[in-house]
Structure 1
Amino acid sequence: MLRRTLLRTGAVVVGSLWLGSSKADASVGPYGALQKPNADGLALPKGFTGRVVARSGRKVAGLTWHAAPDGGACFPDGKGWIYVSNSEIPLLGGASALRFGPEGSVRDAYRILSGTNLNCAGGATPWNTWLSCEEILRGRVFECDPYGSRAARPRLAMGRFKHEAAACDPDRQVVYLTEDEPDGCFYRFRPRDWGDLTEGTLDVLTTSGAWRRVPSPAALTRATRHQVDDARHFDGGEGCHYMNGVCYFTTKGDGKVWAYDAAAGSLEALSTVRGADNVTGTGAGQLFVAEDGGNMEISLVSPSGGVSPFLRLSGHDRSELTGPAFSPDGSRLYFSSQRGRKGDSGGLDGHTFEVTGPFAQAPDR
């Protein structure tokens, strides 16, 4: 069912680009073999270049870039764009933003959320806000303004649990949510009014494939994942991304990449990626999965489930790759090495990268 959906929605529109990667764990991906690492340790296919745009503890456009950079997303900004990044540190957490000019220079940097706790992943909304998720017991989702004009607000109706990532489905007007617990669940939030996340209903996916309402999303004594008897449990929910009618999410305990076909209401394990974590996609339907550990790669997962490396980061062996996100025009990929070369637990050596090159673009319709 899923594979037919991907074909129908154009996820394999780059046809020949997927040739050579239909076999699981292919050594060469659709963009070709990885070249030698550059001075920053970044190995990319021919035709791609990379650079560091921010480092934890160092000034960038007047702002000291936060420690432990994690989930991120890009937003349009006139002729330029903005990249936002969470900070997965205790108590101070929050999120920061980099504003880029049309030529790619960093023109501004500023905080968009402060004083929160272990902000891990999240997701962008169609109305250009950032959902920053706390990965703590009874964690909250904060809706943030990437442009820095409005204060962030907690969206408590989306549940109090160990939040990881969020993905908006504008077709069904719901937000999918993952939970980073060994027996975590996969949720959807149905706002009362699409575009306003203040009120709504939190549902959990069950073993039968049906969605059931969580009775008390903000309960103090009974965790959301234990409130519905036949809720389906997953081994450590991580990244989450919606495209072409499918919500993809990853689970770190078993390294699986899951695909929920929203129209059909079906779920399947699409592939296995070692250390599967944050995930993003292109307008052409390509799925990019970042690794937590492993070979420190961002991998491409084909519609048939084949896995191949897109990039590899050397010298950051005790880190994890986080926050992959494409610029609005699809020409630049941003991501971070959360703990950098030093690999310290506080993420004080985090590196945030930009990769530029001939990424596959959306097809003409």
Structure 2
Amino acid sequence: MERRSLLRAAVLGGSTAAFGGSLWRGAAHAAPAQPGTGPYGPLGASDTNGIRLPAGFTSRVVARSGQTIPGTSYTWHNAPDGGACYADGSGWIYVSNSEINPSGGASAVRFSATGSITAAYRILSSTRQNCAGGKTPWNTWLSCEEVSSGYVYETDPWGTKAAVRRAAMGRFKHEAAAADPVRKVIYLTEDETNGRFYRFVPTAWGDLSGGTLQVMVAGTGTSGSFTWADVPDPDGSPTATRSQVSGSKSFDGGEGCHYADDTVWFTTKGDNRVWQLNLLSNTYELAYDDSVVSGTAPLTGVDNITGSASGDLFVAEDGGTMEICVITPDGVVAPFLRVDGQSSSEITGPAFSPDGTRLYFSSQRGTTGSSSGGITYEVTGPFRT
């Protein structure tokens, strides 16, 4: 309670907790999002898959760990984690990491234009604890190893090209990646209690074989200005990358990362925050902090994050009440869905189909609480565009 009070005072600085103005394009250092009525309305009763959804939405099970995916001969991997979707002619592909160590890797499921599953296959093998990652503008998947001295692997969602280790992107406990085509950089989170926020500047955009790893430098507060500094030794040995640059900003457990419209958002699970970096002004602030909400926080255990065409952010919970919550551009945070009966699991890999009408995600440990019990779902409905 004392920590929460201190956080509240630090974040609000004596101002009201009510949100004023647009979260994404309003005045700098706006207050974090507050609970309210979401754009999709209240959650209904659990459906046959144990998912509580707003009116107009339906769910289906796409795959289960250790079982053959219907319509294919491929067995889905254990502990499904970070994911992304790719256009594939008139259909699409959903890729998913496997957060087990050893032999993590990643797999893909291919869908037809009608949403029927047409194929499934492995795209990365023999790696360690592949947690989150990110999609590139040139349609590859960056699969990140969440282990000390972990690597980023660039993979082919179509499974035709061999995966490539991208050592220049640094060796640390990688979590998520997000591409910024305007500044031509890749943002990277680090899952350590004193982790850092990085960006990788490729020598040539579209080629991650070489470049410069940089770390965010800023003060200790929850808002302010920031700069970037080169990491002298991206290999992280003998000194960890997070300890090489004086003044680099510490974050408590970096998780998901998402870029859109000159803004990058990332989550930190240790303090249940969503951070927002305004890249035009080089300033940062909090988009959400569960310690400063009015009333009961609807979003706890923040983890993977993605966005929709409308500008809504969708944040998955690791724990909490097993929800995916939406944070709207006008600063409202509310549950979008809840998975019942799976309290020993976490929600991972939220990603929208290319047309924005389907949301994919996984319950990493499903009803069993074991990595072999993972379930990957699809939710279809009238998402805002």
Q: Same fold (TM over 0.5)?
A: yes
Q: How does 1:1-365 map to 2 (within 5 A)?
A: 6-7=24-25, 24-26=34-36, 28-60=37-69, 61-208=72-219, 209-272=226-289, 273-344=299-370, 347-361=371-385
**Residues 265 and 36 (structure 1 numbering): CA distance in 2 closer, same or farther, change over 3 Å?**
same
* TM-score normalised by length of structure 1: 0.92
Aligned-pair CA distance for 1:306 = 2.5
* Contact 2:23/2:33, CA 8 A, preserved across alignment: no
Could you tell me which amino acid in structure 1 is paired with residue 180 of structure 2? D
* Contact 1:270/1:304, CA 8 A, preserved across alignment: no
Could you tell me which amino acid in structure 1 is paired with residue 233 of structure 2? S
Spell out, residue by residue over 1:224-251, the C-alpha distance to the aligned partner (whole angstroms, 9 max, x if none): 0000011100000000000111101000
CA RMSD between the two structures: 1.4
Aligned-pair CA distance for 1:23 = 7.0
Aligned-pair CA distance for 1:6 = 2.8
For residues 305 and 32 of structure 1, the distance between their equivalents in structure 2, rounded to whole angstroms, comes to: 16
Q: Which runs of 5+ in 2 are unaligned?
A: 1-19, 27-31, 220-225, 290-298
The residue matched to 1:34 in structure 2 has which SS?
A: coil
Aligned-pair CA distance for 1:100 = 0.2
* Contact 1:278/1:324, CA 8 A, preserved across alignment: yes
* Contact 1:279/1:287, CA 8 A, preserved across alignment: yes
Q: Which runs of 5+ in 1 are unaligned?
A: 9-21
Aligned-pair CA distance for 1:269 = 1.0
* Contact 2:303/2:316, CA 8 A, preserved across alignment: yes
Aligned-pair CA distance for 1:4 = 6.0
* TM-score normalised by length of structure 2: 0.87
* Contact 1:271/1:306, CA 8 A, preserved across alignment: no
Name the % identity: 57
Could you tell me which amino acid in structure 2 is paired with residue 105 of structure 1? S
For residues 220 and 7 of structure 1, the distance between their equivalents in structure 2, rounded to whole angstroms, comes to: 40
Could you tell me which amino acid in structure 2 is paired with residue 258 of structure 1? W
* Contact 1:250/1:258, CA 8 A, preserved across alignment: yes
Spell out, residue by residue over 1:259-294, the C-alpha distance to the aligned partner (whole angstroms, 9 max, x if none): 111111111011123100000001111100000001
For residues 275 and 182 of structure 1, the distance between their equivalents in structure 2, rounded to whole angstroms, comes to: 14
For residues 33 and 217 of structure 2, the distance between their equivalents in structure 1, rounded to whole angstroms, comes to: 32
* Contact 1:186/1:232, CA 8 A, preserved across alignment: yes
The residue matched to 2:147 in structure 1 has which SS?
A: coil
Could you tell me which amino acid in structure 1 is paired with residue 47 of structure 2? N
Could you tell me which amino acid in structure 2 is paired with residue 292 of structure 1? D
The residue matched to 1:63 in structure 2 has which SS?
A: coil
**Residues 94 and 3 (structure 1 numbering): CA distance in 2 closer, same or farther, change over 3 Å?**
farther
* Contact 1:3/1:303, CA 8 A, preserved across alignment: no
Matched pairs, number: 344
